[in-house]
Chain A
Amino acid sequence: MPVPAYSVYEQAILFIAALVVFTSFLMLGQKRLSGMIHLFAAQGALLAATTALAAYALPYPHLYVSALIIVTLKVILIPAMLHRLIVRLDMHRDAEPLYLYGYVMMAAAALVMFSYYVVEPIEHLSTLATRNAMAVSLAVVLLGMLLMITRRQVVTHVIGFMAIENGLFFAAVASTQGMPMVVELGIAFDVLVAAVIFGVFFFHIRSSIDSLDVDRLNRLSEVEP
């Protein structure tokens, strides 16, 4: 269906969907941890905007609550927590080297295409105007995984993990009418708890191997050689 056939709200939702996947790409290319956290917050804000738009346009009023949860958790609370953590760990000025930057970007583009081909047959089952965004949400999940695979910094891994959760949530909004409120609240608190536990783990990992580089975890052994 050509774009002008959609209503303004549907156009806006698809437009923001494209921006969400773009933030995932920017995360893959971001060296600095603080920049990464800002990008994560921006992705959360875009996600909240999509949800609110869907709530207004489709109309599913309970999605307003989801949008509110996203804003408080993923735009304010978790980024603030992560930021405080990296300031306390004195890592907020660190820049992580990007390994095989060009290949990672190519792999990311390939993943987007892959998710399009995977999701295409499923899309035909849905009648929602926003069904095209399903491929985008799968792409965000896969890009989050790629981020976790290609980086060595624990904080980046956590952000990749949260980005995966963003993608899943986006899929729920775009392909159905949002998850039931109980499930949504459960996930939201899971994410929050995960963020807290990750914070504790950062300190443990650092005190045991004196670094947050995941690669060095491979070299742990019980007996000192």
Chain B
Amino acid sequence: MDWLLALIQAVLFTLLAPLFSGWLKWVKCLLQNRRPPPPWQPYRDLRKLFGKRPVVADTASWLFPVTPYVVFCAAALSGAIVPFFAVDLPTAAIADMIVLVGFFALGRFFLALAGMDVGTAFGGMGSSREMTIASLAEPAMLMAIFTLALTASTTNISVAIDYLLDTGLALRPSFLFALGGLLLVAVAETGRIPIDNPATHLELTMIHEAMILEYSGRHLALIEWAGQIRLMLYGVLIANIFLPWGLAREFTPEALGIGAAAIAAKLGALAVALALAETSVAKMRLFRVQEFLGFAYLLSLLGMLSHIILEV
């Protein structure tokens, strides 16, 4: 029964990820006075892409067609272990934060290799930029995660959330800073606006899109889907770690229903906040990204310091 629930949760996570990014796009369009596509538009795009034959360049090695599957599996697997609407599921045993960061790194590593594999200039440029950003974002993310781990004395996400639910509401300055740091990292890692523009193919500014420029057909669909899962993953992580209330702790239909409604509301609100931020901020020059991520690191570091100084 528990395993069935875990399986349902994992499948739902994967299936709902395109809806989340569709909703985000819908809100953003409304804010910018454009007529939005329906929130389920990403499903149509994915279906269209899955129906097309992928074109692979002559110079591509075996790495190139393998990468989309690796990237998608890494994303789907990390989606499966994160507490989505219930904690204490059997999969929680492997829901370790450091493992999660490792999964992100695995997907990114293969994507960067694939970007360079074909040998076009854009792919290499995109890979180089992506790795630059990743190398700056990862320490900030780990620092924010360690702040949480110090508070709950565990690196297991499910146990940490349990601890937070047990102790109830408390004003923790470290969490505020860690939240800020993690939000900035999430924006950078999922390629949202001040860092990268997900909606453009303008040569000089693109990062993520430059890397996957050579992909088409079902390969592209898998990569896009993985990107949507990653976006939702950051959303779920932020919502469930910093606002864990509503998560189902026992597996009764009512508790699960409340859990599902709570996470839907949290994600919906988070998407609105992200859309507002994206609409009000202009894209940053590439060379200012290090300032942005330096600030994220500073926030995370301050979170850890204020935990040690003020909360122990």
Contacts and interface: CB of A to CB of B under 8 A. Distances in A.
Query: Main SS of chain B's interface residues?
Result: helix
Contact of A12 (B171, B177, B308, B312): B171
A2 B309 CA distance: 12
B170 interface: yes
B305 A15 contact: no
A29 interface: yes
Interface string A112-140: 11001000000000000000110110000
A18 B310 contact: yes
A109 interface: yes
A3 B295 contact: no
Interface footprint category on A: 20 to 34
Contacts of A11: 170-171
Given A3-B172, A11-B170, A15-B171, A136 B298 contact: no
B54 interface: no
Contact of A109 (B174, B298, B310): B298
Given A18-B177, A22-B177, A25-B298, A132 B309 contact: yes
Contacts, number: 64
Interface residues of B, number: 22
A136 B301 CA distance: 15
Given A4-B167, A105-B294, A17 B301 contact: no
A18 B173 contact: yes
A116 B302 CA distance: 13
A14 B173 CA distance: 8
A41 interface: no
Contacts of B170: 3-4, 11
Interface string B286-312: 000001001100100110011011111
Given A14-B173, A15-B173, A18-B177, A116 B308 contact: yes
B176 interface: yes
Interface of B: 167-168, 170-174, 176-177, 291, 294-295, 298, 301-302, 305-306, 308-312
17 contacts: A2-B167, A3-B170, A3-B172, A3-B311, A8-B171, A11-B171, A12-B171, A14-B310, A15-B172, A17-B310, A18-B176, A22-B302, A105-B294, A105-B298, A113-B305, A116-B305, A133-B310
